[in-house]
Amino acid sequence: MAPEKASGVVRRWKELLVEDGEFFRGVVQEVVHQVLEAEMDEALQASKGERTSSRLGYRSGSYERTLLTRVGRLELRVPQDRAGRFSTQVFERYQRSEKALVLALAQMYVQGVSTRKVKAITEELCGHSFSASAVSGITKSLDGQLQEFAQRSLESEEYPYLILDARYERVREGGVIRSRAVLIAIGINWDGRRCILGVDLANRESATSWRDFLLGLKQRGLSGVEFVVSDDHQGLRQAIGQCLSEAVWQRCYVHFLRNALDHLPRKADDDCMKELRWLYDRRDLEEARRDLAAWLLKWQTKYPKLCDWVESSIEETLSFYRLPLAHHKHLKSTNMLERLNEEIKRRTQVVRIFPHEESCLRLVRALAMETHENWIEATRYLNMQLLREQRKTALRQLEKAA
């Protein structure tokens, strides 16, 4: 064949492969059919219609099987024998691929990809799209791992620091859209690593729901809690007092400053709140209290309502000063958990309204488990040796005083 003619044939084949996806899929489908027939011939020691004394069985028609491949969806006719002993090896590789595809779909959903986008992606990749209900069903494959994560034992180590907070998600229940509280607990162990200890749903942030949540953590082995950070939610405060009475409570100073705005007129002096915020940057409690006294003296006349409220409530926000200085910025607020909540919100807002509580809890726990694993593998969040040394120093001082 002349070079020019040969190059023309090659070019034509390339055009067929690139432009006509159905042609390429048809070619692959026919090749797979030939492989299946060859496997059956080998299994029976005879080809179709062949008469031989070495034959090990007889064919018995075929059944239809769909196979998702890189070139699209193949509709196959899989041969079968009368004894039902024939088993092809063609699907073994693609069974692994199918599992990988299922896990990829579940991961896309967890990462916040909408079911509409998942449908478009799978249609582009393999010529087959998955409906929203199919994607939701696929994500149920995560349930075993998520349940294991949610119920794991906490007895292997202590968590001196505990941060608690909640956020709300919309869930459809009986045809009515309701808000459900997502309760989350983060602990910091003596190795200085952050761990997500618990994630659960409740109808609301009541004292009962928080108490049940904390008791569940203790039943799983939570122990050694010395310092708890949360906002000033009444139900949460009651639950902490009942379940973690031995721990010191730190009221989140960020929430406190937001609450302070309720005691100010709309056109208030910006310097007033700035100076109140600066109190939380002092090196120790003595310095903070001295500057607080100066702040109260300066603003009492102009904003008496605010100053009276601050004077009666601010001590709850200063508990962090009993910790090592390097730990102050991490444990004077719930900002660490707020950032996790923002990440959860970024992904759950794609769903907007969950069809039921199980789907909501599945997604939030999957995100929590992913974050937990990343934190465990990351560098230490805090140097807990500082807390150990502080405790030793305090113990020596007590012994001297005695």
Read off the tokens for 144.
């075993």
Supply the Cα-derived Rg of the chain in whole angstroms.
32
Query: Based on the domain organization, do 228 and 342 belong to the same domain?
Result: yes
Q: ∠ CA 390-249-306 to the nearest 5 degrees?
A: 115
> What span, in angstroms and rounded, lies between the C-alpha atoms of 198 and 166?
11
Residue 2 lies in a domain: no
H helices of 266-332, in order, are 270-278, 285-299, 304-313, 328-331
CA distances from 326 to 187, 283, 306, 322 (A): 17, 10, 30, 11
- Residue 267: per-residue pLDDT: 85
Query: Based on the domain organization, do 68 and 181 belong to the same domain?
Result: no
Query: Based on the domain organization, do 338 and 215 belong to the same domain?
Result: yes
Residue 325 lies in a domain: no
Query: Based on the domain organization, do 101 and 142 belong to the same domain?
Result: yes
The pTM of the whole model exceeds 0.75:
no
Q: Which of 169, 329, 356 is nearest to 254 (CA)?
A: 329
CA distances from 116 to 104, 272, 362 (A): 15, 50, 19
Query: Based on the domain organization, do 160 and 200 belong to the same domain?
Result: yes
Query: Based on the domain organization, do 218 and 289 belong to the same domain?
Result: no
Tell me if 194 sits within 8 A of 336, measured CB to CB. Answer: yes
Residue 382 lies in a domain: yes
Query: Based on the domain organization, do 339 and 378 belong to the same domain?
Result: yes
> What span, in angstroms and rounded, lies between the C-alpha atoms of 20 and 28?
13
Number of Cβ atoms within 10 Å of the Cβ of 306: 22
Residue 128 lies in a domain: yes
Residue 322 lies in a domain: no
Range of the domain at 261: 253-316
Q: Which of 290, 286, 310, 313 is nearest to 300 (CA)?
A: 310
Tell me if 351 sits within 8 A of 362, measured CB to CB. Answer: no
Read off the tokens for 260.
């302070």
Instruction: List own/partner pairs for 100-104 with CB under 8 A and 24 or more apart.
Output: 101/68, 101/126, 102/138, 102/141, 103/141
- Residue 224: per-residue pLDDT: 96
Amino acid, res. 324:
P
Residue 361 lies in a domain: yes
> What span, in angstroms and rounded, lies between the C-alpha atoms of 379 and 51?
71
- Residue 270: per-residue pLDDT: 86
Q: Which residues of the chain have pLDDT under 50?
A: 17, 96-97
DSSP assignment of 119-175: HHHHHHHHS----HHHHHHHHGGGHHHHHHHHT---TTS--SEEEEEEEEEEEEETT
> What span, in angstroms and rounded, lies between the C-alpha atoms of 143 and 31?
38
What CATH number corresponds to the domain at position 238? 3.30.420.10
- Domain count for the chain: 4
Q: Which of 55, 63, 57, 56 is nearest to 80 (CA)?
A: 63
